[in-house]
Amino acid sequence: MRFDPQVDQFPYFEEFPFEAAGKKSVLEALMEIRNNQDGTLAFRYSCREAICGACAMVIDGKFDLACRTMVEALNTSVIIVEPLPNLEIQKDLVVDMSPFWEAVSRIGPYLFSGDQPEGGYRIEDKEMEKIEQYTNCILCACCYSVCPVVARDQRYVGAAALAKLCRFVQDPRDKRPYPRLAEVNAQGGVWSCDTVLRCNEVCPKSVRPADGIEALRRKLLIEKLKRVFRKRP
């Protein structure tokens, strides 16, 4: 899909011929098209090994990283490549990621460290395994873009941000004060999720962010109950 908001009124599709020889990724195809056919074709990329998260887009209707999507595996003669939805198009396949980054920074996406033992913490590996699922997140924004709640309510922080929050809440080193956690107990937080689980489906790193949302909901309920009982005379 092509679109330059400074020139075009609407996005449109343009077809480029491409001969897939060998095991080419969609990203490699886009680069060849840019080099040989149209130098103005805009898209993001960096690592080409599915770890940096730069090249997320919609390929034949599927949310994925262009670098890890192989042309031959798509098994089709025409590949439709579109920018991530729910974010404004800057040019062609490049979208404005700032609402996504702002959503991530809203939840306090860093360790609230308590004591800092000089010789390091003692944490059993099973504790680290609990958060591994979430630390695999590369913040590619696939889950944010696919989310129907984000589409209708821009206040919703989205699955990636909440999965990141869960990663910290479940980290034994994190000493986040309850009010900071309770921020996602409000509008745009954990209760906004419709649990349609599209985020789990599209995540290229198998993070299953909805598990994190579910865990945060449980944590908030337990915290609330604790507070109710503590207030009793």
Q: How far is the CB of 139 from another protein (least distance, A)?
A: 6
Decide whether 189 or 204 has the Cβ nearer to another protein.
204
Q: Which of residues 173-232 bind another protein (CB under 8 A)?
A: 173-174
Between the CA of residue 88 and those of 23, 52, 85, 100, what are the distances in Å?
32, 21, 8, 11
* Closest among 152, 134, 9 to 85, alpha carbons compared: 152
From 78-86, 135-143, 155-163, 219-227, give the range in contact with another protein by CB under 8 A. 135-143
CB atoms within 10 A of CB 172: 13
The pair of three-digit structure tokens given for residue 190, joined into one six-digit string: 């954990």
CA-CA distance, 82 to 92, in Å (whole number)? 8
d(CA 218, CA 66): 35
Q: Residues 2, 11, 85, 90: which binds another protein (CB under 8 A)?
A: 90
Collect all residues with Cβ–Cβ distance below 8 Å to 172 and sequence separation of at least 6: 121, 123, 127
Return the closest-CA partner of residue 210 out of 198, 220, 221, 218.
198
Q: Which helix (H) or strand (E) holds 89?
A: strand 89-91
Considering beta carbons, is residue 52 or 79 the nearer one to another protein? 52
Q: How far is the CB of 124 from another protein (least distance, A)?
A: 5
Using CB under 8 A as the binding rule, whether residue 119 contacts another protein is answered as yes
Which is closer to another protein, CB of 128 or CB of 225? 128
Of residues 34 through 63, those in contact with another protein by CB under 8 A are 34-35, 39-40, 42, 44-54
Cα distance from N-terminal residue to C-terminal residue, the chain = 64
C-beta closer to another protein: residue 149 or 157: 157
Query: Which residue's CB is nearer to another protein, number 65 or number 149?
Result: 65
Binding site for another protein (CB under 8 A): 4, 6, 23, 31, 34-35, 39-40, 42, 44-54, 68, 90-92, 94, 97, 101, 104-105, 108-111, 113, 116, 118-125, 127-128, 131-132, 135-136, 138-139, 168, 171, 173-174
